[in-house]
């Protein structure tokens, strides 16, 4: 299996990418979505992460089922704060599945085969309001899935990392306080993407 990961500035882009991947035959159990809670319009009014979602008891609630997006739930991932998430990556990042050797969201991504620098930028992008889509694909399908995800205009992790570094950012910090986007940023990230 190969892990294909992309982050989108718009929640609508990520939802469209998930729909396309599932429409291409990838089972929901192999797709994950992690979004800053403030950019998901249907979860924006949820203010407190339930105690049950903070620990390892979320395994059954994440992934599987009729479709990935039907299983979205609110939980806390260290360094990201409250997120709307579903799928295997979210479960791993909070410790509900086999723990990542290096811990947290970056560790889960690295353990899944994502480049460490990209994993740090992707995680920081979610912390700042982006939405991450991660797909476990058969090796022979990985190129096709990557091309499909690219068609929804994800961020370039190298360019985004350079932008972050210009402001003093060095790498993803799980101990950093959760980032709350401004209302203008929230509106931009929720905006319908002209698919």
Confidence of residue 88 (pLDDT cuts 50, 70, 90): confident
Confidence of residue 125 (pLDDT cuts 50, 70, 90): very high
| Phi, psi dihedral angles at 77 (to 5 degrees) | -115, 130
Structure tokens at 120: 């740090």
DSSP notation for 152-170: T----HHHHHHHHHHTT--
Please report the pLDDT score of residue 183 as a whole number: 67
Domain boundaries, the chain: 2-188
Please report the pLDDT score of residue 68 as a whole number: 56
Q: pLDDT tens for residues 50-87?
A: 433 433 333 333 333 345 555 567 767 777 777 787 78
Please report the pLDDT score of residue 175 as a whole number: 81
Please report the pLDDT score of residue 51 as a whole number: 39
| β-sheet bridge partners, residue 143 | none
The better pLDDT of the pair 22, 178 is held by 22
Structure tokens at 77: 């991932």
Please report the pLDDT score of residue 40 as a whole number: 63
Please report the pLDDT score of residue 76 as a whole number: 72
CB 101 within 8 A of CB 112: no
Strands (E), the chain: 2-8, 31-36, 73-77, 81-86, 131-137
Residue for token pair 């932008």: 163
Residue 192: name the closest of 7, 16, 6 by CA.
16
Query: Which residues are within 8 A (CB) of 148 and not within 5 positions of it... i.e. 6 or more apart?
Result: 17, 20, 21, 24
Please report the pLDDT score of residue 128 as a whole number: 87
The burial of 146, by beta-carbon neighbours within 10 Å (0-12 exposed, 13-18 middle, 19 or more buried), is given as: middle
Please report the pLDDT score of residue 169 as a whole number: 93
Residue for token pair 């620990």: 55
Residue 93: name the closest of 157, 34, 146, 38 by CA.
34
């Amino acid at each position: 299996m190969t892990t294909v990961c992309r982050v989108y500035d718009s929640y609508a882009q990520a939802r469209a990418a998930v729909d396309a991947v599932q429409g291409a035959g990838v089972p929901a159990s192999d797709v994950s979505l992690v979004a800053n809670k403030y950019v998901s319009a249907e979860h924006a009014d949820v203010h407190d992460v339930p105690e049950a979602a903070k620990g390892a008891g979320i395994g059954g609630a994440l992934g599987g089922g009729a479709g990935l997006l039907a299983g979205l739930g609110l939980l806390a991932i260290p360094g990201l704060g409250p997120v709307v998430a579903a799928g295997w990556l979210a479960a791993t990042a909070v410790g509900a599945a086999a723990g990542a050797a290096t811990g947290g969201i970056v560790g889960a991504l690295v353990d899944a085969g994502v480049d460490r620098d990209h994993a740090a930028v992707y995680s920081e992008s979610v912390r700042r309001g982006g939405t991450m889509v991660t797909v476990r694909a058969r090796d022979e399908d990985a190129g096709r899935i990557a091309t499909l995800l690219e068609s929804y205009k994800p961020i370039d992790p190298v360019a985004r990392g350079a932008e972050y570094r210009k402001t003093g950012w060095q790498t993803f910090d799980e101990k950093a306080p959760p980032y709350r986007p401004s209302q203008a940023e929230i509106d931009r990230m929720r905006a319908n993407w002209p698919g």
